C-alpha cells in the first residue's frame, strides 16, 4: 500500500529539508488544522503577536543562514517561513515580505485560503469574510506577485500531486534566486493526502553550472584588468551576504584594496592586508580608482551616501547572483563561481603590490569622555560599544541613527551585521532579532544577537519583545532613546511635534511583558543609562557581556544628536528636500 502524508505535513517537511526548523505566524481560520501537523513534521510553531512581526522575524531567521559560521557548518537555515491567513493576515505581513524582496532574502510565505468551492463560486452577491466584498478572490495573490519571485496556488491544480510538485519548484526558486515566494493552500486541501514517496526525492537546489570555457575566459579577462589597473578597488556590498560571496571577498581583500558600503559592514575581516573600511562618501583613493569591482551591488541612495560613495570610474565589473557585468555586457554565469576562480587565478599569479597611504575608514576617531557625568553622545557611544562586540556576534542596526552610527564601529571577525540597504522600514529589526536568535538556537550557531534599536522603531513593533520573552530567546537590546525621529529632524522640522514620539519607560518594557516570570532559567537585565559613568558601570558588569537571556538597555541621548561624520550629509539631504518643487 502506498504511504501517504497530509498536504500540510508535506509543506512543513520540505521546509525542514531546507534547515528551516521553525515557522512564524498568527493562527487563522483557513489554516488552523494545518498547524496540527507542524510538530509531526519536525518544526516548531512560533506564534507572533501580529503578522508584520512574523514577516520580519521570518526575514531575520533566513538572514541567520548568511553568517559565516552557518555557511561553514551547513546547518544554517536556507529559508525563513511564515504562515498567515487569507487577506487580512497576508496583507499585514506584506510590508515585511516586500522588504525581503528588495534585499534578496529567501522567505516562504504560506497562506491558508478559503476552500476550492469558495474559489469557484465567489461572487459579490455572497461575499466571504476576509475578502473585499466584490467577488475578486485572487486580488491578494496579484498584489503578492509584485514582491515575490515565484507563486504556487494549490487551488489552480486539478491533482494534488501536481500541486506539491509545483510547490517544490517554488521552493527551489526561493533558494536559487534568493527572493521570497508565495504559496496559497485552500483550507479543504490541508489534509488531503499525497504520496510520501515524493518526499524521498530531495529538493534540487544546486545552482546550474556555468560553461567552463565561458567562465575561464571571463576570469582571465577580469584578472588581466586587475593586473593592469593603477588603483583597483573591490567594493563589497550588502548582497554579498545572501549571495554567499564572503569567503571570496575576504580572500580578495588580501590581494587588492577593498572597502564596503554600509549594508556590508562586518562582511570583510578588518585585519585583511588591503582592507580600507566602510565608504561613507568619496575618499582620495576611491575617487581616483581606475577599476572598481562591485560584489553583491545594491547601489541605493541610503547605502551609498546619496550615491556619492560610488567610485566615479566608468570601468566597473559587477558580480551578481547569476551574472557578471563588464563593459556593458551581461554574462549569464554564477557570480560566486567566477569569484572563486578569480581568487585562484590571482593567488597563482598575483597582481603587483599596491602601496596605500590612505588610512582605513572603518571608524571615526573620537576621544572618550573623561568625565563620568558627561551625557552619552552619539560620537562617543558607537566607538565605545565596539569594545563590547565579540567574534560570531550578529549585530542588527535599526533604521535611523543606529544605521548611521554603526559606521563608526569596529567589528571583530567573524561577525554578521544586519543593516537595511534599501527598504529601510522602521520597526524591522526588533522582530528580525527574534528570528535571528531563534535560528541560532535551532541550528546550534555560535554568537550573541545584539540589537541597536531606535526608540521610534521600538514603538512600531514592540510586541516582538513579548515574542522574544515567550520563547526565552537570547537577545541584547540597546535602545537609542532620543525622543523621536532624529534622522528626520535633520531633514525637516528639528523642533516639530511630528518628529516626536511618546515618552516610554523602555527599561520597564521587559517587566511589562512579564519577563520576570522566567528569571530562574532566563536571566533578565533592565537598565537605563544617561551618562558615560552609567555606561561604563554597565559595561563593567559581567552579566551584560553574557549572551544568555534578555538584556534591555535604555540609552538616553539628546534629541538633536547625530554622529559627527553624518552631519554634512544630512545637511545636504535637507537642502535637497527643501529644493524640491
State whether 341 and 483 are in the same domain.
no
Is 368 a member of any domain?
Answer: no
User: Taking the CB of residue 129, how many other CB atoms lie within 10 A of it?
Assistant: 11
Is 137 a member of any domain?
Answer: yes
Is 373 a member of any domain?
Answer: no
pLDDT surpassing 90 at residue 576: no
Is 491 a member of any domain?
Answer: yes
pLDDT surpassing 60 at residue 365: no
Question: Is the distance from CB of 431 to CB of 56 less than 8 angstroms?
Answer: yes
Q: Is 455 annotated in some ligand binding site?
A: yes
State whether 69 and 21 are in the same domain.
yes
User: Taking the CB of residue 394, how many other CB atoms lie within 10 A of it?
Assistant: 28
Q: How confident is the model over 413-440, as pLDDT tens digits?
A: 999 999 998 999 999 999 999 999 999 9
pLDDT surpassing 90 at residue 223: yes
List the 416-419 sheet strands across, edge first.
Answer: 416-419, 394-397, 449-454, 475-481, 550-556, 524-529
Is 367 a member of any domain?
Answer: no
Q: Is 561 annotated in some ligand binding site?
A: no
**pLDDT for the residue 518:** 61
**pLDDT for the residue 351:** 78
What is the rounded average pLDDT of the residues 137-159? 97
CA distances for 308 relative to 51, 278, 280, 313, 564, angstroms:
37, 13, 8, 12, 18
**pLDDT for the residue 520:** 72
Q: State the chain's maximal CA–CA distance in angstroms.
A: 79
Grid cell locating 543: 552579566
**pLDDT for the residue 364:** 45
State whether 287 and 427 are in the same domain.
no
> What angle do helix axes 7-17 and 160-177 make, rounded to 10 degrees?
20
Which has more confidence, 70 or 211? 70
Q: How confident is the model over 303-350, as pLDDT tens digits?
A: 888 888 899 988 999 999 999 999 999 999 999 999 999 999 999 887
Is 359 a member of any domain?
Answer: no
State whether 190 and 51 are in the same domain.
yes
CA separation for the pair 53, 161 (Å, rounded): 33
Percentage, residues of the chain above pLDDT 70: 96
Which has more confidence, 517 or 137? 137
Domain of residue 303: give its range.
212-348
State whether 195 and 77 are in the same domain.
yes
CA separation for the pair 274, 256 (Å, rounded): 6
Please give the model's pTM, rounded to 2 decimal places.
0.95
Grid cell locating 14: 520540505
**pLDDT for the residue 581:** 66
Which has more confidence, 43 or 580? 43
State whether 189 and 232 are in the same domain.
no
State whether 42 and 174 are in the same domain.
yes
Confidence at 213, pLDDT banded by 50, 70, 90: confident
pLDDT surpassing 80 at residue 363: no
CA separation for the pair 151, 179 (Å, rounded): 11
Residue 527: phi, psi to the nearest 5? Answer: -150, 145
Question: Is the distance from CB of 30 to CB of 89 less than 8 angstroms?
Answer: no
The residues facing 478 across adjacent strands are 452, 553
User: In this structure, what CATH number is given to the domain that contains residue 309?
Assistant: 3.40.50.1220
Q: Is 482 annotated in some ligand binding site?
A: yes
State whether 335 and 392 are in the same domain.
no
The residues facing 277 across adjacent strands are 259
- Residue ranges in 229-279 assigned as alpha helix (H): 246-252
Give the rounded distance of the alpha carbon of 466 from its chain centre: 21
**pLDDT for the residue 415:** 94
N-to-C CA span, the chain:
73
CA separation for the pair 542, 82 (Å, rounded): 36
What is the rounded average pLDDT of the residues 541-545? 94
DSSP string, 408-461: G----SS-EEEE-SS---TT-HHHHHHHHHHHHHHHT--S-EEEEEEHHHHHHS
- Is omega for the bond preceding 414 within 30 degrees of 0, making it cis? yes
**pLDDT for the residue 353:** 67
State whether 176 and 225 are in the same domain.
no
Of the three residues 200, 234, 258, the one that is the final residue of a domain is 200
**pLDDT for the residue 573:** 80
Is 34 a member of any domain?
Answer: yes
The domain total for the chain is 3
Strand 80-85 with 107-113, pairing: parallel
Angle subtended at Cα 185 by Cα 30 and Cα 202, rounded to the nearest 5 degrees: 135
Of the three residues 200, 222, 238, the one that is the final residue of a domain is 200
Q: How confident is the model over 245-301, as pLDDT tens digits?
A: 999 999 999 999 999 999 999 999 999 999 999 998 899 999 999 999 999 999 998
Of the three residues 144, 170, 200, the one that is the final residue of a domain is 200
Report the range of poorest mean pLDDT among 121-125, 163-167, 513-517, 577-581: 577-581
Grid cell locating 391: 567574534
Q: Please state the length of the chain.
A: 581
CA separation for the pair 29, 41 (Å, rounded): 21
Is 428 a member of any domain?
Answer: yes
CA separation for the pair 64, 77 (Å, rounded): 7
pLDDT surpassing 70 at residue 109: yes
State whether 237 and 179 are in the same domain.
no
Angle subtended at Cα 204 by Cα 442 and Cα 244, rounded to the nearest 5 degrees: 60
Q: How confident is the model over 454-486, as pLDDT tens digits?
A: 999 999 999 999 999 999 999 999 999 999 998
Strand 291-295 with 416-419, pairing: unpaired
Confidence at 210, pLDDT banded by 50, 70, 90: confident
State whether 260 and 310 are in the same domain.
yes
**pLDDT for the residue 64:** 98
User: In this structure, what CATH number is given to the domain that contains residue 87?
Assistant: 3.40.50.970
State whether 194 and 217 are in the same domain.
no
Q: How confident is the model over 262-274, as pLDDT tens digits?
A: 999 999 999 999 9
Which has more confidence, 569 or 111? 111
pLDDT surpassing 50 at residue 355: yes
From the DSSP assignment, how many helices (H) and strands (E) are in the chain? 20, 21
Question: Is the distance from CB of 441 to CB of 386 less than 8 angstroms?
Answer: no
Amino acid at each position: 500500500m502506498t504511504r501517504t502524508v497530509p498536504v500540510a505535513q508535506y509543506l512543513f517537511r520540505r521546509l525542514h529539508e531546507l534547515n528551516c526548523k521553525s515557522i512564524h505566524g498568527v493562527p487563522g481560520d483557513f489554516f488552523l488544522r494545518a498547524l496540527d501537523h507542524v510538530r509531526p513534521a519536525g518544526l516548531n510553531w512560533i506564534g507572533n503577536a501580529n503578522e508584520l512581526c512574523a514577516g520580519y522575524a521570518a526575514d531575520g531567521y533566513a538572514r541567520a543562514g548568511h553568517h559565516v559560521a552557518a555557511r561553514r557548518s551547513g546547518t544554517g537555515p536556507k529559508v525563513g517561513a511564515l504562515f498567515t491567513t487569507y487577506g487580512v493576515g497576508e496583507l499585514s505581513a506584506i510590508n515585511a515580505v516586500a522588504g525581503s524582496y528588495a534585499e534578496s532574502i529567501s522567505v516562504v510565505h504560506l497562506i491558508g485560503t478559503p476552500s476550492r468551492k469558495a474559489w469557484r463560486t465567489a461572487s459579490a452577491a455572497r461575499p466571504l469574510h476576509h475578502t473585499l466584498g466584490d467577488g475578486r478572490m485572487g486580488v491578494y495573490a496579484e498584489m503578492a506577485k509584485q514582491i515575490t519571485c515565484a507563486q504556487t496556488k494549490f487551488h489552480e491544480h486539478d491533482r494534488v500531486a501536481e500541486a506539491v510538485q509545483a510547490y517544490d519548484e517554488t521552493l527551489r526558486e526561493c533558494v536559487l534566486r534568493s527572493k521570497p515566494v508565495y504559496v496559497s493552500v485552500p483550507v479543504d486541501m490541508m489534509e488531503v493526502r499525497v504520496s510520501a514517496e515524493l518526499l524521498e526525492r530531495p529538493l534540487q537546489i544546486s545552482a546550474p553550472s556555468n560553461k567552463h570555457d565561458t567562465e575561464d575566459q571571463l576570469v582571465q579577462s577580469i584578472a588581466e584588468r586587475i593586473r593592469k589597473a593603477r588603483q583597483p578597488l573591490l567594493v563589497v556590498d550588502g548582497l554579498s551576504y545572501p549571495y554567499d560571496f564572503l569567503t571570496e571577498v575576504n580572500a580578495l581583500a588580501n590581494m587588492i584594496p577593498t572597502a564596503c558600503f554600509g549594508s556590508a559592514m562586518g562582511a570583510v575581516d578588518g585585519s585583511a592586508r588591503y582592507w580600507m573600511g566602510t565608504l561613507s562618501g568619496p575618499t582620495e583613493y576611491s575617487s581616483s580608482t581606475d577599476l572598481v569591482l562591485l560584489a553583491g551591488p545594491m547601489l541605493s541612495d541610503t547605502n551609498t551616501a546619496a550615491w556619492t560613495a560610488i567610485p566615479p570610474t566608468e570601468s566597473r565589473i559587477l558580480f551578481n547572483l547569476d551574472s557578471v557585468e563588464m563593459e556593458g555586457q551581461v554574462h549569464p554565469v554564477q557570480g560566486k563561481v567566477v569569484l572563486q576562480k578569480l581568487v585562484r587565478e590571482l593567488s597563482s599569479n598575483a597582481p603587483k603590490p599596491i602601496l596605500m597611504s590612505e588610512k582605513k575608514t572603518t571608524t571615526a576617531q573620537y576621544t572618550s569622555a573623561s568625565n563620568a557625568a558627561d551625557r552619552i553622545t552619539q560620537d562617543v557611544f558607537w566607538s565605545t560599544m565596539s569594545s563590547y562586540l565579540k567574534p560570531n556576534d550578529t549585530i542588527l542596526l535599526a533604521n535611523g541613527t543606529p544605521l548611521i552610527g554603526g559606521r563608526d564601529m569596529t567589528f571583530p571577525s567573524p561577525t554578521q551585521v544586519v543593516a537595511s540597504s534599501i527598504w529601510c522600514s522602521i520597526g524591522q529589526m526588533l522582530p528580525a532579532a527574534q528570528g535571528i536568535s531563534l535560528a541560532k538556537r535551532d541550528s546550534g550557531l555560535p554568537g550573541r544577537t545584539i540589537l541597536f534599536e531606535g526608540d521610534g522603531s521600538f514603538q512600531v513593533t514592540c510586541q516582538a519583545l513579548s515574542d522574544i520573552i515567550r520563547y526565552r530567546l537570547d537577545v541584547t537590546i540597546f535602545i537609542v532613546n532620543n525622543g523621536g525621529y532624529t534622522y528626520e529632524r535633520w531633514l525637516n522640522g528639528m523642533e516639530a511635534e511630528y518628529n516626536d514620539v511618546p515618552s516610554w519607560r523602555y527599561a520597564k518594557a521587559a517587566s511589562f511583558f512579564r519577563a520576570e516570570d522566567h528569571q530562574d532559567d532566563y536571566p533578565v537585565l533592565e537598565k537605563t543609562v544617561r551618562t558615560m559613568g552609567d555606561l561604563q558601570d554597565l559595561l563593567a558588569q559581567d552579566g551584560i557581556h553574557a549572551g544568555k537571556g534578555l538584556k534591555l538597555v535604555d540609552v538616553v541621548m539628546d534629541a538633536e544628536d547625530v554622529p559627527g561624520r553624518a552631519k554634512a550629509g544630512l545637511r545636504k539631504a535637507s537642502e535637497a528636500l527643501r529644493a524640491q518643487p
